[in-house]
Amino acid sequence: MSRGDFLWAGWSMLAAFFAASAAAGARFMFPNVIYEPSQKFNAGQASGYDLGVSTKWLNEQRVWIVRTPSGFYAMWARCTHLGCTPNWWGDQNRFKCPCHGSNYTMDGDVIAGPAPMPLWRTKVMLAPTGDLIVDKAILENKPGKREEPPYFAPYAAA
């Protein structure tokens, strides 16, 4: 290899290095954004829910909607231990996590297992049209606070 070819190869490699560095710097200026669907959804007419736990939105939105005689609340179906999806056992009136055995009451309180805290309640409100609007982006699990709006929607059936 001649001295001229060696210099040409060296300058080419240096130019390639600077071009790659400039491309990486330019790419840094564009953020990596993940566009996800809204955490807010319409759960349908409130009058369409019977008393007790509804698993209608479990597969699609990972939410249980619970109707009590005085209103509605919605819970995020995610175990507070390791994030598994618990199952509702109506005959035992409790949620059970299949992975590590955490058990929760219908209110979401821990009654057995390794779960460190209650299930999360989501924001739920009653629209003027009579629809339930659930917002999974706003969560609460502290007793006392979770029984108040916006984590509980009062409802009196007509």
pLDDT at position 35: 85
Q: What is the percentage of the chain residues whose pLDDT exceeds 90?
A: 86
pLDDT at position 158: 55
HSE at residue 41, side-chain half, CA atoms within 13 A, is 16
- For the stretch 55-97, pLDDT in tens is 999 999 999 999 999 999 999 999 999 999 999 999 999 999 9
- For the stretch 2-26, pLDDT in tens is 888 899 999 999 999 999 999 999 9
User: Is the sign of the CA dihedral 135, 136, 137, 139 positive or negative?
Assistant: positive
pLDDT at position 36: 86
Q: What is the mean pLDDT of residues 141-154?
A: 94
